[in-house]
Amino acid sequence: QVQLVESGGGSVQAGGSLRLSCSASSDIASRSCLGWFRQAPGKEREGVAAMSAGGEFTYYADSVKGRFTISRDNAKNTVYLQMSSLKPEDAATYYCAARAGGVWSCGGLSRSLYVYWGQGTQVTVSS
């Protein structure tokens, strides 16, 4: 089992930045793909970004390319999401997710690929 705990959410004005963090309870996460998803009220949960275990491959949703950056520190079992140039449409609950233990690659941002989920952290963007 891997437990994921997100932090760093908050309220920001459009154009601002936030950095989300997600800490994993197990070093299994350091050998697994980690990703970020988000869900706005009334909408489906969607993939935002993901990174393979060794950091070789990254995946981004088209809507965040050039604005969001995913990174990870395997020594700390932590993945980050740096969000810049935030827009009101970025407002959502952001979830950290991990593929099954030892699954190095991500294979994309399909929700069904990820088996471990955090509780989420809220991001509000005002115009």
pLDDT at 38: 98
Q: Is pLDDT of 101 > 80?
A: no
> Which bin fits 82, alpha (ψ -120 to 50), beta or left (φ > 0)?
beta
Structure tokens at 22: 């997600």
pLDDT at 58: 97
Cα 82 to Cα 72: distance, rounded to the nearest angstrom? 11
pLDDT at 83: 98
Cα 103 to Cα 25: distance, rounded to the nearest angstrom? 16
Q: Is pLDDT of 68 > 90?
A: yes
- Lowest-confidence range among 12-21, 41-50, 72-81, 103-112? 103-112
